Amino acid sequence: MESGAPLRQVLRNTLWNIGGQVFSFLVQFVTLPWIVHGVGVAAFGVWGLIGVLLSYFAFLDLSLRLAVVRFVSQGMTREDAAGVRQAVWSAVWILGLQSLAGLVVLILLTRPLFQHVFAIPAGWYRVAAWVFWVRAAGFLLELMTGLFRAVPVALQRMDRVIRRTALLTFIQSVGLAGMAQLGWGLLRMATWVLLMQVVSLGVFYRLALRMVPDLRLPAWDKATARSLLRFGGWSTVSYLVEPVLLHTEKLLIGRWAGVAQLTYYVVPYQLVTRLWSVTTGFSTALLPALSETDARRDQVAQQDLTLQSIRIISGVMAWPVLLMVVFARPLLTFWMGREFAERGTIPLQVLAVGLWINVINWPVFALFQAKGRPDRPALYHLGEACVYVPLAYVGVRVLGLPGAALAWTLRMALDSYLLLRGSVRAGFLPARGLGSALANPLAVTALLAGLSLGALQTWTARPAFVLTATAGWLVLGAYTFWNRVLPPQERRQFLRFWTRWFEA
């Protein structure tokens, strides 16, 4: 393979991922008011509650989608079409049985959830129950669709995935908005969502067949199924622990500081974690590329790609993070008002630092998955939960909102330390290369911090000074990133990638 080709492919797929997320956000941003005003606040509350409830059952897929990405990527690299067919269809059979069992459980939970836990009004119960059941069927079909969508993802063709996903999202959202305005009710809207999930399943099934024709014949292999369950089981452990690691401090704030104080924490948290969309898109594109190098037993290429990814993602994310750290108070004052800025500035600054520490380990997390070792991150996450819960409790009780943000950031630091150290001890990454990959972004971050502090001094001056300082900060930051973070070979790869991108 041409030198630098994996990195260019990862960057291309990352741009497709981010573009797809932006498009979906814009479509939902435009259509959501039409839906809310069409069905009414009370009805939309029921609709939203059902969506939240179903999201808690996403663990039913046992992370089989990630497992399929890895197995298909490696199987196609080895030209093992039979193995690919066994992996995909074994995952389909497993998820099919899981979905049937999950649907039965959801039906049985309807009455206790709606009548006792959430106290749905009697006049709404019958409609809410039917909407819940129809949307549950659509939700389980969506999980099944993810398995066939994983095939083009594994083959690093995110362009085909995003184009189809964007079109389906647009049709579904516009349809919901139109039905809401026509007063067709929640049940017909839920049926529309179910119909769109059936169409989506057919679309991605046909796409998977076009890319891997051998998938036309269903198959089952017990050994492959065990491997899928082993991989997916450990990934599911991380998924189940994730709410504890991400949201414990919010529950403690609501309990000990009051629900009103929670707003001053949640808004900065949501602002910071929006940046995860960049790293999520990058990580999604990185996993199949790393799995391909693992299948070729090309450890040097795999290490180079991982270290390149660490340099790029940490260097790129330093800019928005430092903007939030240095300009937190004026940003919140402009956006939410002076009173909000007084209480939310420190949490925003501390959370932003934690996010930057966290994004460093995303390529390493993908590396563990590509190596078929999701057990390591899962065990790390279990250990972190045991430390984080008491740490968050002490932070909230002693320092309030800043203490909650500090506990969250310390947990992120522990997570990065364990993953980076574990990758070196397992022999996945060289210690010297990892240190070099981290050193340059840290130096750039320190430089940008100094430039940002200088720009902050002009905040109370005339707007022209603020614009000049910000423009200078961006130019110098980009120059430093280009010359200090990226080695010469990667600069050439970047130039070649962007040249081809604009030509296309």
Least confident of 145-159, 271-285, 348-362, 480-494: 480-494
Residue with tokens 């066994």: 86
* Residue-by-residue DSSP string for 331-383: HHHHHH-HHHHHHHHHHHHHHHHHHHHHHTTHHHHHHHHHTT-THHHHHHHHH
Q: Are the beta carbons of 265 and 404 closer than 8 angstroms?
A: yes
Q: Are the beta carbons of 151 and 212 closer than 8 angstroms?
A: yes
Determine how many CB atoms are found less than 10 A away from the CB of residue 442.
14
pTM over 0.75: yes
Q: Are the beta carbons of 255 and 400 closer than 8 angstroms?
A: no
Q: Are the beta carbons of 345 and 329 closer than 8 angstroms?
A: yes
> Measured between alpha carbons, how far is 354 from 486 in angstroms, rounded to an integer?
24
For the chain, the farthest-separated pair of C-alpha atoms sits apart, in whole angstroms, at 70
Q: Is 184 helix (H, G, I), strand (E, B) or coil?
A: coil
Asked if pLDDT for residue 239 goes beyond 70, the answer is yes
Q: What is the pLDDT of the chain when averaged over all its residues?
A: 83
Least confident of 69-83, 104-118, 452-466: 452-466
Q: Are the beta carbons of 91 and 228 closer than 8 angstroms?
A: yes
Q: Token pair for residue 259?
A: 């629900």
Asked if pLDDT for residue 226 goes beyond 80, the answer is yes
Q: Is 417 helix (H, G, I), strand (E, B) or coil?
A: helix
Q: Token pair for residue 244?
A: 């504890």
Q: pLDDT > 70: what percent of the chain?
A: 84
